[in-house]
Amino acid sequence: MPTLHTQSLRIGRYVKGVVLGLLWKARGVRLRDRVAIEGATPDVYAAGRIALGSRILFRSRHGRSRLTAQPGARLSIGDRCFVNSGVVIDASLSIEIGAHCLLGDGCQIRDSNYHEIDEGAGVKRAPVVIGRNVWIGINAILMPGVSIGDHSVVGANAVVTQSVPPRSLVAGNPARVIREITASDAFVRT
């Protein structure tokens, strides 16, 4: 049976989520139904399109998270995702995150490198697609153009520069496949 303290935390997250949901809707964010907020309110910049699925939990105890959709960009987060402290999701083109994903403290997901590397090469911009039930570890960085397959895990501090097949554990800088993961289609991490 939940304690009184646990129940009051749940109620607080719910109320904060309802109020912020209304404010975000007024700023153009599409919400399927509601979000829950624990700790600091995420910064949301919606010059483009931001769509949030059902029952996403934002927990910002140790740093405010940031969601950005630049003009003309799309950012979507699927149902029942968990966004931990200090997460940065910055879309200048398109970022799509599937349902039931877990985003660890301080991870960064960006679809642009914002500066050219070689003279005359231009700025690299490419969509980022994250499948469903993906766990992205603490301080991991996903670079422009990567896709992460369903049920995969990105290790802490990994820098993902290439796409990851489904049901894979990747780690390192640059990230590489360490091993395959056993997961049925119905499996959901909690």
Could you give the percent of the chain with pLDDT greater than 70? 98
The one catalytic residue in 5, 62, 100, 115 is 115
Retrieve residue 79's tokens.
């149902």
Q: Residue 70 carries which DSSP code?
A: -
Task: Express each pLDDT in 18-65 by its tens digit.
Answer: 788 788 888 889 998 888 888 888 999 999 999 999 999 999 888 899
The H or E element containing residue 12 is: helix 4-26
Six-digit token string for 162: 């290439």
Q: What is d(CA 84, CA 98) in angstroms, rounded to the nearest whole number?
A: 16
Domains and CATH numbers, the chain: 4-180 (2.160.10.10)
pLDDT tens sequence across 160-182: 999 999 999 999 999 999 999 99
Residue 115 near residue 145 (C-beta atoms within 8 A): no
What is the 3-state composition of the chain as percent helix, strand, coil, each rounded to the nearest 5?
10, 35, 50
Name the CA radius of gyration of the chain, rounded: 17
Give Cα separations from 28 to 22, 24, 47, 51 (angstroms): 10, 6, 8, 9
Q: Strand 147-148 vs strand 128-130: parallel, antiparallel, or unpaired?
A: parallel
Our answer to whether residue 115 is catalytic in this structure is yes
pLDDT (tens digit per residue) in 116-154: 888 988 889 999 999 999 999 999 999 999 999 999 999
Taking the model in full, what pTM does it have?
0.90
